[in-house]
Amino acid sequence: MTGAAIILFWVVCALAGPQLVPYDPYATDILGALAPPSARHWFGTDQLGRDVFSRVVVGARDILVVAPLATALGVAGGVVLGLVTGYYRGAVDNGLSRLVDVLLTLPLVIIALLALAAIGASTATVVVVIGVVFTPLVARTVRAAVLSQAALDYVAAARLRGERGPYILFVEILPNVAGPILVEATVRLGYAVFTVATLSFIGFGIQPPSPDWGLAISENYGLIGGGIWWIVLANAAAVASLVVGVNLVADGVQEALAT
């Protein structure tokens, strides 16, 4: 539940951020640049004099759009693919298992780097690339769940009734595998947040001038040698809290559905 609270906090920030923050996140104030945390600027200011606290609050928006979208795309694709391969089996099924094994050998960041170098990084392409890579991974879990359902009586009964394939898949089987799908979705969301933040940090994710946290860290990282630590720490703490929040929720969902 702590996890849900954390996520809710950031969602509120993302949605209502611009209204709630004391300063305009994009307003510059060169004279007041690089000020350490104080009562006026809780997290200090960056090199353009922008209030870091406001930027951190508003920075929630991009990652909370990209990561869930990518996860949704991957889960949608994975559910369809998993249902089809789990129910129909056959050559496609074997090919898919091989493909998933291949994809699992490489970490998401490296695959994403390759794809994004090829097609150029932007919010949209990041969503698509992560979604596409997630699809076979989700499909694998869905397929396993479908396999255990497909042997049960209600499926055979539906078949005997003369129901068509798509009906059996989506109306009969899908509701019964919703639990594992939900667990998988929350776990994938955790990976998505992790990956989007990492990609933004190395410049292949969310693009400037967004106040996104990973981007802010990479932009201000060079300053810490000179003792300017607050910008980086604030954004890093934000990323950490969101990742922990999502994982707590994923654990909670898993526990709740393990019955």
Q: Binding residues for another protein, per CB under 8 A? A: 98-99, 101-102, 104-111, 113-119, 190, 194, 197-198, 201-204, 214, 217, 221, 224-225, 227, 229, 232-233, 236, 239-240, 243-244, 247
Shortest reach from residue 25's CB to another protein, in Å: 21
Annotate 27-59 with DSSP letters as a single string: ---GGGTTPPS-SSSTT-B-TT--BHHHHHHHT
Judged by beta carbon, residue 119 or residue 178, the one nearer another protein is 119
Q: How many CB atoms lie within 10 A of CB 60?
A: 23
Shortest reach from residue 3's CB to another protein, in Å: 11
Shortest reach from residue 111's CB to another protein, in Å: 8
The number of angstroms, rounded, from the C-alpha of 184 to the middle of its chain's C-alpha atoms is 12
Task: Tokens for 47, please give them.
Answer: 């090199």
Judged by beta carbon, residue 123 or residue 241, the one nearer another protein is 241
Query: At 212, is the secondary structure helix, strand, or coil?
Result: coil
Query: H-helix or E-strand containing 217?
Result: helix 213-220
In terms of C-beta density within 10 A (0-12 exposed, 13-18 middle, 19 or more buried), how is residue 88 classed? middle
Shortest reach from residue 105's CB to another protein, in Å: 5
Shortest reach from residue 101's CB to another protein, in Å: 6
Task: Tokens for 189, please give them.
Answer: 């969301």
Are 183 and 253 a contacting pair, CB within 8 Å?
yes
Shortest reach from residue 211's CB to another protein, in Å: 17
Judged by beta carbon, residue 135 or residue 247, the one nearer another protein is 247
Angle between helices 60-88 and 178-201 (to 10 degrees): 140
Judged by beta carbon, residue 24 or residue 255, the one nearer another protein is 255
Judged by beta carbon, residue 138 or residue 192, the one nearer another protein is 192
Bond before 209 cis per omega within 30 degrees:
yes
Shortest reach from residue 251's CB to another protein, in Å: 9
Distance, in Å, from the CA atom of 162 to the CA atom of 168, rounded to the nearest integer, reads: 10
Q: Which residue is it, tokens 């400037």? A: 208
Judged by beta carbon, residue 176 or residue 241, the one nearer another protein is 241
Judged by beta carbon, residue 209 or residue 226, the one nearer another protein is 226
